[in-house]
């Protein structure tokens, strides 16, 4: 159970997010929607411990995420828009990076992992359908494949929460759908909470369990995906747009 309560964060006196509260249950896939500049990035930085909110907390179980230091951070995995794989390492070694919060530091320096970790990394690669590409250098993979390696890395971390910041914004529609299907599957099968920001409403409606809508730094919608209708859409993006064209 991940609980964000009363998150507020301002930059130069301007609030980027204000009194943002919502919860993610285990195994739940929550899509965060909202126009550019609504505060999604700030919210995600607070949820991953990269930024400290001015007020409010994000709790993961009994712990405050902002207070998680060092290895404890492994409980929140991050999937980035630009994948952020180490391009000169193989897909396999990139997935093994997910174990760095679990193993002794010297194993990371020498990239020598125990058999169990290597097996887990290969299993994660198998789950994203890239076992055959395990030894390929990350920068030789396509964008969709790279994002799947990044998801395997997140899985190898054995997190309680996966935060994905616009994971499909740089991908073509087919690859994007594949990535969201994977995230949905991980949430269902492993009971991991997934928070994922998206720009396409139809993708959120197809894969998420719940939609949280952010506008001008405040939550304007927090509803199961079935109840995200035209009025909700207009509240989020303004009246000129129409849900059906999306």
Partner 1 sequence: MASRAEQALADLEATRRGFTAERVRFWIICAVVLAFYMVSWDLAGVDLHKLATGLPKLGHWLASAWPPKLDEVPLFALRIAETVAMAAIGTTLATLLAIPMAIVASRNITPLPGLYYPARWFLNALRGIDSFVFALLFVAAVGLGPFAGVLGIALHTWGSAAKLFADHVENANLGPFEAVRATGAGRFTAIAYALVPDILPVMLSTTLFWLEFNIRASTVLGVVGAGGIGQELKNSMDLLDFPRLFTIIAMILIVVTLLDQLSSWLRKRLIRP
Footprint of partner 1 on this chain (CB under 8 A)? 115, 118-119, 122-123, 125-127, 131, 134-135
HEC profile for 23-71?
EECCCCEEEEECCCCCCHHHHHHHHCCCCCCCEEEEEECCEEHHHCCHH
- Choice between 58 and 134, CB closer to partner 1: 134
Closer residue to partner 1 (CB): 66 or 131:
131
The least distance separating partner 1 from the CB of residue 1, rounded to whole angstroms, comes to: 28
Q: How far is the CB of 24 from partner 1 (least distance, A)?
A: 27
CB nearer to partner 1: give 189 or 239: 189
> Please, which residue, 14 or 115, has the CB nearer to partner 1?
115
Q: Which is nearer to partner 1, 16 or 128 (CB)?
A: 128
- Nearest approach in angstroms of CB 41 to partner 1 is 22
Please, what is the minimum distance in Å from the beta carbon of residue 152 to partner 1? 11
Tell me the closest approach of the beta carbon of residue 119 to partner 1, in angstroms: 5
């Amino acid at each position: 159970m991940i609980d964000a309560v009363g998150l507020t964060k301002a930059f130069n006196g301007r609030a980027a997010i204000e009194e943002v509260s919502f919860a993610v249950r285990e195994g739940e896939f929550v899509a965060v929607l909202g126009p550019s500049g609504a505060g999604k990035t700030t919210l995600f930085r607070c949820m991953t411990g990269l930024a400290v909110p001015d007020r409010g907390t994000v709790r993961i179980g009994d712990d405050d995420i902002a207070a998680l230091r060092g290895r404890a951070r492994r409980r929140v995995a991050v999937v980035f828009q630009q994948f952020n794989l180490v391009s000169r390492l193989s897909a396999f070694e990139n997935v093994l990076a997910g174990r760095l919060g679990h193993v002794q530091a010297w194993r990371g320096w020498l990239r020598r992992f125990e058999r169990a970790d290597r097996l887990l990394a290969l299993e994660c690669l198998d789950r994203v359908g890239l076992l055959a590409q395990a030894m390929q250098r990350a920068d030789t993979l396509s964008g969709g494949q790279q994002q799947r390696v990044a998801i395997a890395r997140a899985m190898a971390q054995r997190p309680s929460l996966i935060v994905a910041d616009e994971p499909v914004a740089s991908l073509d529609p087919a690859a994007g759908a594949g990535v969201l299907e994977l995230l949905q599957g991980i949430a269902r099968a492993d009971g991991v909470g997934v928070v994922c920001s998206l720009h396409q409403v139809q993708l959120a409606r197809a894969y998420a369990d719940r939609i949280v809508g952010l506008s001008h730094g405040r939550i304007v919608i927090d509803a199961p995906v079935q109840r995200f209708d035209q009025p909700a859409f207009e509240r989020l993006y303004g009246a000129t747009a129409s849900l059906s064209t999306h």
